[in-house]
Amino acid sequence: MCGITACIGTDESVDSLLDGLRRLEYRGYDSAGIAVKNQAGISLTKRVGEVSELVGAVERDPIDGTFGIGHTRWATHGGVTDNNAHPHTDESGRIAVVHNGIITNYQSLRSELESNGHKFESETDTEVVPHLIEENLRDGATPEEAFRAAVGRLNGTYALASIIGDEEAIFATRSGSPLVLGVGEGEYFLASDVPAFIQHTDQVVYLHDGDFIIARPSGYEVTDSGGRPVDRPLKYIEWDPETATKGGYEHFMYKEINEQPGSLRRTIHGRLNALSGGVELEEFPPGTFSDVEQVHIVGMGTSHHAGMFAASLLSERGIPAYAFMSGEYAVIKPPVTENTLVIAVTQSGETADTLDAIRRARAAGARTLALTNVVGSSITRECDDELLIRAGPEIGVAATKTFSSQVTALMLLTERFVEDITGNKSGVARDVMDSLARLPGDVQEVLDTSNAREIAEEYQDSDSYFFIGRGLAHPVALEGALKFKEISYEHAEGFAASELKHGPLALVTPMTPVFAIFTGFEDEATLSNMKEVQARGAPVVAITSDPDGEIAEFADHVLTIPETHPDVAGITANIQLQLVAYHAAKLLDRPIDKPRNLAKCVTVE
């Protein structure tokens, strides 16, 4: 893995491929390369490092072609070297392939091919594919037959794109890894994600697992593994190309933090009745969830924290709910029945662990629901139902606006569950809904008044950073720590405030600032924990809506949030913590949008 791009029918294929790779940089990678077809054959350039290294190599030694494929790699098999970078070719150099995913039987295939005289240049699993195609061509197969037969030998997950011999076509397929087709006027694009080609076209075809596609200058065709045509609808993307650019901001992450008032308005729009305070989900009319007896929420990283938030909300409202890391769901094997609803929370809709968890839940008879940001993603096809968070494209690896939109969408779902399952339409729910309606404005207030930069400057030389909270503030503390560590590379940990005296307090020193989150729930107990760490010399930054009260009196610094319902306060508190993480990373001159070793979309387990 991590990013595929391809184009055919364009006037400037090299420029289009390089631009597509630039727009996929947010996915995380360690090397990049392109291969283009011209009269002399296939011209190939690939380099370790950033796409800029590849661009420089192409500028020094220009290549051209009428169509081609490109790739940003995140190493899974073999070290980070030019030889291991994609695209990979056969021995003749007439076949080039790019691949996302993992081919689990590559070693046996490689041994078989080597026994037949094939010589390999890399340590990757991907290189078996062009050699398999070459072998099939030698046996008299057409390029399409050779590609299909090679894919038929593969086990594992993959999105593949290939150029073969003199055929003026791009051959591609997917199984467990995303691939989308962009349809322009006489030009066609393939990519792992829409931003790679959004500046060229807003018309897309989402491919399903098992789909094969052949794109030519004259058009494209989608078939199944047996060669039978399949109908995949053409859809329109509502993103303006500007949304996939920085728009004057220094980093995508900072832009996306500042986009949250707008993304939250989209999440809420049409789903809240301002007069009644009730929830109106077009996707789920009243009574949809009346037979649900328990809820499991699966997700990884930020999505897991959003799931923890929702599970706590549901439990408070009398509905049994549990949050699981998707990657542990198969290990824990929680009991499910036909009255269990399993909610998959995933920004991309392609997270491998979460897809696996959903498949296991469905196999056990559970009902499933996808909560995602991406129309047509794999998770929407795997689940019985879907609810889009409508956050818009998120390019920065560190999730920001998608977390706040995930939590908000889950709060709306929670209210629908409560109405359907318990029949309870309490005044408390009305207060929550009113606070949600004010949320975009409250977030804008935080963005306009935050002193997060000053806090980051004050504590930039600390040894570690701790984040604490109770109830719904606990997942917010975990998310605050995650944001801090993933973009600043500094050690940060989140804890339930009640956990401090059971171990973590041993780590507290004057060089470990503690961020304490106060939401109006059990604030007195959290204040007691704050005093505990201060007694050990640790400075405390309080996140609170009362900058003049007792909490602020005892805190060393305060990050203020608007007064709101305790169930909603965690969202605005999280915005302050996102800003602290961003400014801390900027002070340290970290690559904020592309933190090392991380990828935006994790499509392998």
* 598 domain residue, yes or no: no
For residues 285 and 231, state if they share a domain: no
* 194 domain residue, yes or no: yes
Q: Could you tell me if 401 and 259 are in contact, meaning their C-beta atoms sit under 8 angstroms apart?
A: yes
Active site residues: 2, 600
For residues 102 and 133, state if they share a domain: yes
Q: Which residues contact 55 (CB under 8 A, 6 or more apart)?
A: 18
For residues 417 and 499, state if they share a domain: no
Tens-place pLDDT, residues 48-57: 988 999 999 9
Q: Could you tell me if 76 and 126 are in contact, meaning their C-beta atoms sit under 8 angstroms apart?
A: no
Give how far Cα 405 sits from Cα of 139, 181, 443, Å. Answer: 54, 27, 12
- Given the DSSP bridges, would you call strands 514-517 and 95-103 parallel, antiparallel or unpaired? unpaired
* 447 domain residue, yes or no: no
**pLDDT of 596 over the 90 cut:** no
* Structure-derived torsion over alpha carbons of residues 35, 37, 39, 43, reported in degrees to the nearest 10: 0
24-33, 49-58, 487-496, 525-534: the lowest-pLDDT one: 24-33
For residues 383 and 334, state if they share a domain: yes
Residue ending a domain, among 404, 439, 474, is 439
Residue ending a domain, among 242, 264, 285, is 242
Domain count, the chain: 3
For residues 369 and 493, state if they share a domain: no
Q: Which residues contact 463 (CB under 8 A, 6 or more apart)?
A: 491, 509, 511, 512
* 593 domain residue, yes or no: no
H-helix or E-strand spanning residue 585:
helix 566-587
For residues 307 and 423, state if they share a domain: yes
For residues 64 and 168, state if they share a domain: yes
Answering whether pTM is above 0.75, one says yes
For residues 227 and 83, state if they share a domain: yes
Cα–chain-centroid distance for residue 200?
Answer: 23
Domain carrying residue 62: 2-242
Tens-place pLDDT, residues 91-136: 889 999 999 988 999 999 999 999 999 999 999 999 999 999 999 9
Per-residue pLDDT, averaged over 474-483, amounts to 97
For residues 237 and 261, state if they share a domain: no
For residues 234 and 268, state if they share a domain: no
> What sign results for the dihedral spanned by CA atoms 383, 385, 388, 389?
negative
CATH number of the domain to which 572 belongs: 3.40.50.10490
Q: CA 556, CA 243: separation in Å to the nearest integer?
A: 38
For residues 134 and 8, state if they share a domain: yes
For residues 271 and 401, state if they share a domain: yes
CATH number of the domain to which 7 belongs: 3.60.20.10
**pLDDT of 69 over the 90 cut:** yes
Residue ending a domain, among 214, 242, 270, is 242
Where is pLDDT greater, at 245 or 77?
77
Q: DSSP state, 455?
A: H
Please report which confidence band the pLDDT of residue 242 belongs to, taking 50, 70 and 90 as the band edges. Answer: low
